[in-house]
Each structure stands twice: as structure tokens, then as C-alpha cells.
């Protein structure tokens, strides 16, 4: 495993981080910085709303975001350009993926980060620097 300057977590990686997945913990420990795209925050908040431990989950997320090595990747006009390129390439190839994943990939590319994920859909984005982990 090599150190990553900016490790971007998708929703699956954050969830596995919370459950103590050794691979995620190792990558996070080695990264200089860790980021969550705002789209991931939206997915997490939606899950919290539907769950039974909303306050606890929000508190834990807030504590994680307060760490000095963690940041949030906001959506910008530049993110939208990355989104458009990724979306169009996937559409042309006939390999669309969920829209939120396109936004997460766009934020990752804009930040020049490396995405950590358990979701194989990201493998369809040839230009995305990512690490695909196995849940087992």
C-alpha cells in the first residue's frame, strides 16, 4: 500500500470505516488528508434520517469531520464540468452508473484525490483514480 495525498471516501468506504474494516483503516491512517464529497454527506444524512440512531450517527460523523486531516469537498461550477465529462463518457459507452456516484467521481477528480470504495461501478470510469476494496 502506498501513501495517498488526498484520500476521498465514498459512502461505502465511510460505512466500512465506521465498522472497523482493516483495509479502510489502513488507507485512512496512511493518507495525508481525507475528504468526503458533499454528495456522500447527503447519502449519509438520508440513511441517518431513516435509521434508529440518527443523533448518534450525526455526532460520530461530526466528530470525524472535525478532525484536522478531514475535509468536505463542496460541489462547484468546476465539479459540474467534471460531472458532465464523466456522465457523457459513460453514456457514450453504454455503461451508466448511479447519478450520485458520478457526482462523487467528479468531486474526486476535481480535487485530484484517490477514491476509496467498495463499489465496482466506479471501475467504469476510466479516468478515475480509485482503490476498490473487497467487503470480505
Helix, coil or strand: residue 135: coil
So where are the chain's domains? 6-132
What would the 3-class secondary structure string for 43-71 be?
HHHHHHHHCCCHHHHHHHHHHHHCCCCEE
pLDDT band at 135 (very low <50, low <70, confident <90, very high): confident
pTM of the model: 0.95
- What was the pLDDT predicted at 1? 63
The 10s digit of each residue's pLDDT in 39-86 is 999 999 999 999 999 999 999 999 999 999 999 999 999 999 999 999
Distances (CA, A) of 43 to 46, 49, 100, 130, 135: 5, 10, 9, 19, 19
- What was the pLDDT predicted at 88? 98
User: In the chain, what's the furthest Cα-to-Cα distance?
Assistant: 43
- What was the pLDDT predicted at 2? 66
Q: Which of 115 and 2 is assigned the larger pLDDT?
A: 115
**Fold exhibited by the domain 6-132:** Rossmann fold (3.40.50)
The 10s digit of each residue's pLDDT in 8-32 is 999 999 999 999 999 999 999 999 9
The 10s digit of each residue's pLDDT in 93-128 is 999 999 999 999 999 999 999 999 999 999 999 999
Q: Does residue 4 carry a pLDDT above 90?
A: no
Q: Which of 135 and 97 is assigned the larger pLDDT?
A: 97
Amino acid at each position: 500500500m502506498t501513501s495517498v495525498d488526498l484520500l476521498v471516501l465514498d459512502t461505502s468506504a465511510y460505512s466500512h470505516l465506521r465498522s472497523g474494516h482493516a483495509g479502510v483503516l489502513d488507507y485512512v491512517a496512511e493518507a495525508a488528508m481525507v475528504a468526503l464529497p458533499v454528495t456522500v454527506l447527503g447519502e449519509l444524512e438520508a440513511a441517518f434520517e431513516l435509521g434508529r440512531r440518527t443523533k448518534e450517527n450525526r455526532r460520530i460523523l461530526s466528530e470525524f469531520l472535525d478532525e484536522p486531516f478531514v475535509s468536505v469537498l463542496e460541489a462547484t461550477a468546476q465539479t459540474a464540468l467534471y460531472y458532465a465529462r464523466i456522465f457523457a463518457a459513460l453514456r457514450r459507452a453504454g455503461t451508466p452508473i448511479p447519478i450520485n456516484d458520478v457526482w462523487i467521481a467528479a468531486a474526486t477528480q476535481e480535487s485530484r484525490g484517490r477514491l476509496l470504495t467498495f463499489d465496482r461501478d466506479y471501475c467504469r470510469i476510466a479516468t478515475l483514480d480509485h482503490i476498490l476494496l473487497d467487503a470480505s
